[in-house]
Amino acid sequence: MKPDVLMTTGIPSKEQIDSATPPGSRRKQGPFVVIECFQEIPCDPCYHSCRFGAIKPFESLNDIPQVDWEKCTGCGVCVAACPGLAIFVVDETFSDTECLIAMPYEFSPLPGKGDPVHLLDRSGDKVGEGVVHRVVPGRKPQGTPVVWVRAPRELSLNVRNLLPSAGKGGNNCV
């Protein structure tokens, strides 16, 4: 039996990532959520945070979140609500060369709008360079800040974290 890659490395398999990604036709319509939550754990803040009903109702508190792609607006509210930092928003329609990626960010200081950042993949490896597009501060007590970055479009489904470039960072929430 093939070992579960997520359980041995902490990184989801290609099949798991594909299961969390909308079809190509939906990706061309604007921002969409990517929920990389692949373990059955008692958690459902994403469901309760979505005012559009895009995260389907859970039969059990341990269910893995499922997305109704037709209802998702890519607003990003669920990104801040996820205690597991497993939700992202991607907009591949931002420009011909760049995409926007919204990701949770729990480090201090927060990067500021316009700051250059190193883009990291799921392994923590640097895969490119980006620029902070906007920062949405987390709502207390449980909200996580969300950083939206402009990234090369071809990295839209690979970038899952960032590292501020040396000497930058500034809490400029916009």
Task: Take residue 32 and report the two structure tokens written for it.
Answer: 């969409």
Torsion angles phi and psi, residue 6, rounded to 5: -60, -45
Q: Is the pLDDT of residue 1 over 80?
A: no
Checking if the pLDDT of 10 tops 80, the result is: no
- Residue 130, SS3? strand
Distance, in Å, from the CA atom of 143 to the CA atom of 124, rounded to the nearest integer, reads: 23
Question: pLDDT tens digits, residue range 92-106?
Answer: 999 999 999 999 999
Rg (CA), the chain: 16
Between 169 and 91, the higher pLDDT residue: 91
Q: List the structure tokens of 156.
A: 């839209």
pLDDT in tens, 31-67: 999 999 998 999 999 999 999 999 999 999 999 999 9
- Chain centre to alpha carbon of residue 1: 31
Chain position carrying tokens 């760049």: 98
Separation between Cα atoms, residue 174 and residue 73, nearest integer Å: 20
